[in-house]
Amino acid sequence: MKTASLRNEMLYNEEKVAIKVLMETETSKEIRIMFRKGQSMKEHKAGFPITVEVHQGTIAFGVNGEVLKLVAGDLIYLDANVPHDLFAEEDSMVRLTLSKFDSIARVEKVVD
C-alpha cells in the first residue's frame, strides 16, 4: 500500500511550473503540477497514454487544433504521441498520471 496527498505541501514556483512526483506504483507515476496564473507547458507529446485531471483553477488545454477550457473536476485522457499544451488561466493544480515507463525528465523539459 502507498499513500500520498495532493493537498499537502502545495508549493508554487513563481518562476516556472512546479512539478512533484507524489507516487510511483508498478504501473504508473502520479504527479502534481502547480501553475501560477500565466504559466504554461509548451506543446509536447508523451510516448505513452496519459490522464490529466484539474483539481484547482482553470487550464486552457490545447489539443487537436482546439483549446479546451478545463476546470476543477475535469479529466482528459490522451493516447500516446498526441501533441498538447497547457496554459494556466488562473492559479491551478493538475494531477498527471503517467505510465511507469514514461520519464519525469520529459515532463520537466516542457515547462516554460
CA distances from 5 to 2, 8, 19 (A): 11, 6, 14
From the list 33, 29, 49, the residue with the least C-alpha distance to 41 is: 33
* pLDDT for 112: 67
Q: Using 50, 70 and 90 to split pLDDT, how confident is the model at 99?
A: very high
From the list 4, 18, 21, the residue with the least C-alpha distance to 93 is: 18
Alpha-carbon distance of 16 to 79, in angstroms, equals: 26
Residue 2, pLDDT above cutoff 70: yes
58-63: average pLDDT: 98
Residue-range domains of the chain with CATH: 18-108 (2.60.120.10)
Kind plus residue range of the DSSP H or E element containing 105: helix 104-108
Residue 48, pLDDT above cutoff 80: yes
Q: What percent of the chain has pLDDT over 90?
A: 86
- When the pLDDT of each residue in the chain is averaged and rounded to a whole number, the result is 95
Cell 490529466, residue located: 52
20-25: average pLDDT: 96
Residue 34, pLDDT above cutoff 90: yes
* pLDDT for 104: 87
Alpha-carbon distance of 75 to 51, in angstroms, equals: 7
Q: Using 50, 70 and 90 to split pLDDT, how confident is the model at 111?
A: confident
The three cell numbers of residue 90 are 488562473
